[in-house]
Amino acid sequence: EPPDTPEDFSCQTQDMKRVTCTWREGETYLYGQNLPRYTLSKMSSQKTALCKASCLKQCSCSWDIGQQRIWNVTLTVENPLGKKTATDAFDVNHRMYPTAPFQVWEDCTDTEITLHWNYENNEIELFCQTEVLHPDGKVERHNSSVAGSKRVTVRGLQPYTEYTARVRCGAAEHFWRWSEWSQPLTTRTKEGTPSGKLDIWREITPVLGGRNVTLFWKQTPSFQANGKIISYEVTWEKIEDGSEPESISISSVYKSMRIFIDNHFYRISIMAKNSVNFSLPSVLIISKATDNSRKILFSSFIGTKEVKEGQVNGTEDGIFISWEPRSIYDSYIIDWCNFPRLQPCDLKWKRFGPSTSSAVISSDAFVPGVRYKFCIYGSVADRAFLLEKKIGYLKELPPHLDPVVRKVDLTYNSVTLSWDSYFTNESHPGFVRGYHVYVSPVEGNCNLKGSKKHILSDESELCKYTIENPEEKQYTVNHLMPNTKYKIVVKAFTGGGETPIGNFRYIDTPSNSNMLYFVFLLVIVPVLVAAICHWKMEWVKECFCPVIPSPNKSKVLSFKEFKIDSEKVLKINDCLPDVLAMDSNTEVQKS
């Protein structure tokens, strides 16, 4: 292809003695002797080349300008297929492109950096710009306020902080373009007085004659050490009697210490110290010990209401905790132990603003199956009051053991199971929510009224009963078949489920005694009565069916004189009656 017109063709100088023109080379798909040829010449004398072009990443051509300041040059590019030109007319004074500054150095205070530099051509008045890179990646640029100045001061920096700076310059008069950046300079500001306060907390343990107070402290995002912390100053003093305060200096490698105080009010303050000064003091007021606080660790009363322990649940992000906000407090504190089974535990705490009433506590140390205890405090005027206690798990796991069944009471159609109270402590992997009772005949499937079907991994069926009261210690399974062998087991369950079903207990229901009694009444008793009646038939006849005497068979009437025709007749006057009954009183009087 024929050559294209050279692109980005421009000329400039770095020292007012020599001019360099640059441009971008186009693609012609020709090689060897057919490569494009570049010629740079004056517009007025195009036959005389000013310089010989060279092309690497870009093409350039340089020549000495002498005393001439106004130039009008032509760049010609040609190959066997064609020719193109580009022109540039310029005043050298307007095309100043300085070399990069060198020998950059600095002066520092705790909040300022003053940068100094040199550049090669001191005869040219330059205007320079400084770029400062902050630790967080923020970039600031500052222009020198005076032309020709070889320094600039950057203010408003953080003490004892590392910054990276570099400088570039351009012509103060007839600005053309910035020079290349100088080599970067990394420097650190000097130390300053620590700003902000430490976040401090305490753990109080009642002991004989007073209390052991373990103090903890940490740096918060709002605290700036502004240097290297070399020690912490801990001071405590009794408030009531104005006694002299006690203090101790602790090495910066420690973040806790223990002191002993009596049962009076105390004011405790902690300050961080670097090579310049102390930070502002962080203050805790330890209340006067009460009888309850001497006896019970972590006990507190709000009015007359004792603080009780509630349960909290784990989430994907941590353990969710909520509390009832009180308007009198200016902040809330939650403390806990990352490793509660260690003694002493590594106490952690977190502060929240007065408008907060819930939080998700997370830690890389939290693991499933471990119970964590959280204490929620309200703080006002540097005094903390225990408000609520919470216990919970990041994730509950099934119980380690099954309830121990101590007593089994059987009838022909029911079984009553009694077990010991399921003892749970901090080592338990979850909260016991209740119990499951599983029962099934040894032979065949279970289909008891009031139960739910449960299928095991081997596809056998069990009847399942759920007890949702963890305090329950007895349960009766009804509707069993008499004279049948059953397998039965009681399982405790938590929010993490229950252990695999196994270790069945086998029972045999007795026969139905009521049925035997019924059979006895319907069959045995009538047969027995019939046998007795048959054995004593004559006696029974005489008792229940006596023979009615026939007058014709009476011996008294066997004489002939008592016969009238064929009938035997007895005249009343022939007999002496045993009893005489009268019809009425009148007849009695007549007789």
DSSP output for 268-291? EEEEEE-SS-BPPPEEEEEPPPPH
Is 90 exceeded by the pLDDT of residue 530? no
Fold annotation for 405-509:
Immunoglobulin-like (2.60.40)
C-alpha pair distances (Å), 215 with each of 200, 205, 270? 7, 11, 9
pLDDT at 324: 92
3-state helix, strand, coil in the chain (%, to 5): 10, 45, 45
**245 preceded by cis ω (within 30°)?**
no
Q: What is the DSSP letter of 514?
A: H
Band of pLDDT at residue 80, cut at 50, 70 and 90: confident
Neighbours of 340 (CB within 10 A): 16
Band of pLDDT at residue 571, cut at 50, 70 and 90: low
Is 70 exceeded by the pLDDT of residue 4? yes
Is 90 exceeded by the pLDDT of residue 570? no
Band of pLDDT at residue 37, cut at 50, 70 and 90: confident
Band of pLDDT at residue 560, cut at 50, 70 and 90: low
Band of pLDDT at residue 121, cut at 50, 70 and 90: confident
**Mean pLDDT comparison of 507-511, 526-530, 547-551, highest-scoring range:** 507-511
pLDDT at 133: 95
pLDDT at 108: 93
For domain 300-393, the question of CATH label 1.10.1840.10 is answered with no
Q: Which residue, 228, 268, 277, is CA-closest to 251?
A: 228
Q: Which residue, 289, 280, 112, 113, is CA-closest to 212?
A: 289
Contact 521, 527 (CB under 8 A): no
Q: Mean pLDDT throughout 318-343?
A: 93
Lowest mean pLDDT of 31-35, 109-113, 250-254, name the range.
31-35
Contact 88, 70 (CB under 8 A): no
Is 60 exceeded by the pLDDT of residue 304? no
Long-range Cβ contacts of 380-383 (<8 Å, 24+ apart): 380/328, 380/329, 380/330, 381/285, 382/283, 382/284, 382/285, 383/285, 383/287
We find that the CATH architecture of domain 198-286 is: Sandwich (2.60)
What's the Rg (C-alpha) of the chain? 56
pLDDT at 591: 44
Judging by DSSP bridges, how do beta strands 309-314 and 383-393 pair with one another? parallel
Model confidence pTM above 0.85: no
Band of pLDDT at residue 293, cut at 50, 70 and 90: very low
Q: Which residue, 95, 123, 111, 115, is CA-closest to 168?
A: 115
Q: Which residue, 387, 388, 382, is CA-closest to 287?
A: 382
Band of pLDDT at residue 344, cut at 50, 70 and 90: confident
C-alpha pair distances (Å), 296 with each of 292, 308, 349, 546? 6, 13, 21, 95
Q: Which residue, 134, 117, 133, 125, is CA-closest to 98?
A: 125
Model confidence over 399-446: pLDDT tens digits? 988 888 999 999 988 999 999 877 777 888 999 999 999 999 988 888
Q: Mean pLDDT throughout 325-351?
A: 91
pLDDT at 49: 83
Average pLDDT of the chain, as a whole number: 85
- For helices 525-535 and 537-544, angle between their N-to-C axes, nearest 10 degrees: 90
Q: Which residue, 275, 87, 311, 95, is CA-closest to 192?
A: 275
Q: Mean pLDDT throughout 22-29?
A: 78
Q: What are the residue ranges spanned by the domains of the chain?
A: 7-94, 102-188, 198-286, 300-393, 405-509
Lowest mean pLDDT of 243-257, 403-417, 500-514, name the range.
500-514
Q: Which residue, 202, 208, 203, 201, is CA-closest to 262?
A: 208
Q: Identical fold at 7-94 and 102-188?
A: yes
Task: For domain 102-188, give the CATH number.
Answer: 2.60.40.10
We find that the CATH architecture of domain 7-94 is: Sandwich (2.60)
Q: Mean pLDDT throughout 454-472?
A: 89
Lowest mean pLDDT of 338-352, 528-542, 569-583, name the range.
569-583
Is 80 exceeded by the pLDDT of residue 550? no
Contact 556, 570 (CB under 8 A): yes
The 3-state DSSP class for residue 534 equals helix
Q: Mean pLDDT throughout 141-159?
A: 86
Neighbours of 541 (CB within 10 A): 11
Q: Tokens 């019809």 map to which residue? A: 583
- Greater confidence (202 vs 447) lies with 202
Q: Mean pLDDT throughout 187-210?
A: 94
Is 50 exceeded by the pLDDT of residue 296? no
Residues 6+ apart with CB under 8 A from 161: 134, 135, 188, 189
Give me the phi and psi of 458, to 5 degrees please: -90, 15
C-alpha pair distances (Å), 104 with each of 116, 130, 167, 258, 442? 6, 11, 8, 51, 93
Percent of the chain with pLDDT over 70: 85
Burial of 11 (0-12, 13-18, 19+ CB in 10 A): buried
Contact 96, 18 (CB under 8 A): no
